Structure 1
Amino acid sequence: MLNVKVYSLGPVQTNCYIVSNKQKDCIIFDPGEESARIIKEIRKNQYKPLAIFLTHTHFDHIGAVDALRELYNLPLYVHEKEVNWLNDPMKNGSGKYAELPNYIVNLPDKEHIIRQEQVIEIGSFKFNAVFTPGHSPGSISYIFEDDGFAIVGDTLFERSIGRTDLIGGSLEVLLKSIHEKLLTLPENTIIYPGHGSYTTPEEEMEMNPFLNGF
């Protein structure tokens, strides 16, 4: 059974997830900020990081990528539609806020560009990369079927949905992604969002006002 730890980081409290196994191997999802805090947790728990995965590349999900990758020599997995967002502050959103630094992630040549939905296997970890665009064109949800949870970024929240007024956003596309890719999961699947508390497909089908009438 996998262990999931969540850390709310940075100026907008973005959820970073560290998923680990019994051997202390781990995968890091959306390290948005506060690299020192993430590194402290990795050391405290004696984790052995294997990779970084991004649900999408908005600034609040990428801020600690370079620091972690440099320290642990980690591969980075990102959707092909948002590769060039990593070093473009206007596309990743940081350039719109004067109080923020320009968030730039350097992408080495040998990175892992996710071009199609696929099963991903790293060490003993096995999960599905499923495309859930709408909040951004390259949004990905990572589905751990055997362990009953999904890391969905800013696609679906507890009683809410991702915003669609940013570059490449679309309400119609987002709702289609939610209904076809997330609400079709087993009803008790734990949905881990990019912000806030976890939820389940069952709860959101019954209680989410943004999904009624779709």
Structure 2
Amino acid sequence: MFLQRMAVGVYGANCYILGDDKTNEAAVIDPGGDAKEILTMLEDNGLQLKYILLTHGHGDHIGGLQELKEKTNAPVYMHKDDHYLLQDKNRNYSAMMGGPVIEMSADAFLTDGEGLELGELKLKVIYTPGHTQGGICIHVNDSVFTGDTLFANSIGRTDLDGGNYELIIRSIKEKLMVLDDDTTVFPGHGPASKIGIEKVTNPYIK
């Protein structure tokens, strides 16, 4: 599996490019900005973009979305409960971040447990509301891409539109902490971790 992390946009959010080694089909998770750099990374590695996946609808995770969509025509997938954020520059905060202002519609909506095929890779959607109403994580092989739900030694903030502290804790404990301890956590900000490490060290879920 091809995997590349890129710190993008004005907040340096983590964008991930996944690629299937056999077919060169690719997915971009959370194109938060710097669309030209994302496109260059795809081109340099001979990857064909099949999906644009949004873990949630906040501006620091969607800043490069419009340009990436226009240049590739790849479909945008997210959970329906965050669609209102994507469609409103004020509620997704892109209007006040100093980067691209985003008001768009998704092409399709993902549901809990849904699978997506990326060449020979099987991506599974995990619905994890709490940071936002429609937050999701993407599980593939021994990796999980957690957006702003779970960070190394921390969790996503819940004081923004759609946030709910009790719900994010429940999502993490019931949906993420049940994954294998060796599962690598790739968050929306900051360094990677492991599920087993977070079980022991994360002060919010111990």
TM-score normalized by structure 2?
0.94
Contact 1:142 1:151 in 2 (8 A): yes
Matched-pair identity in %: 33
Name 1:56's counterpart in structure 2. 56
- Other structure's SS at 1:91 match: coil
Structure 1 position 9 matched with structure 2 position 11 = no
Is 1:205 aligned with 2:205? no
Note the 1:167-178 alignment, pairs <5 A.
Answer: 167-178=161-172
Distance 1:75 1:173 in 2: 29
User: 2:33 corresponds to which residue?
Assistant: 33
For 1:72, the equivalent position in structure 2 comes to 72
Check whether the contact 1:32–1:63 (CA below 8 A) recurs between aligned residues. yes
For 2:98, the equivalent position in structure 1 comes to 100
Question: In the TM superposition, what is the alpha-carbon distance from 1:116 to its structure 2 partner?
Answer: 4.3
TM-score for the superposition, normalised by structure 1: 0.90
Alignment gaps of 5+ in structure 2: none
Matched residue of 1:130: which SS? strand
> Matches of 2:13 and 2:78 in 1, distance apart?
17
Checking the alignment, whether the CA contact within 8 Å between 2:17 and 2:26 is kept in structure 1 is yes
What is the CA distance between 1:49 and its match in structure 2? 0.9
Say if 2:114 and 2:125, in contact at 8 Å, map to a contact too.
Answer: yes
The one-letter code sitting in structure 2 at the alignment partner of 1:202 is G
Q: CA deviation at 1:68?
A: 1.2
Distance 1:26-1:101 versus aligned 2 partners, 3 A rule:
closer
Residues 89 and 102, structure 1, Cα contact 8 Å, conserved in 2? no
Q: CA deviation at 1:179?
A: 0.4
Residue equivalent to 1:135: 131
Separation (CA, whole Å) in 2 of partners of 1:50 and 1:86: 20
Highest RCO, 1 vs 2 (Cα 8 Å, sep ≥ 6)? 2
Which amino acid in the other structure matches residue 147 of structure 2? G
Question: Does the 8 A contact of 1:134 with 1:172 survive in 2?
Answer: yes
- Structure 1 alignment gaps of length 5 or more: none
State the secondary structure of the residue aligned to 2:160: coil
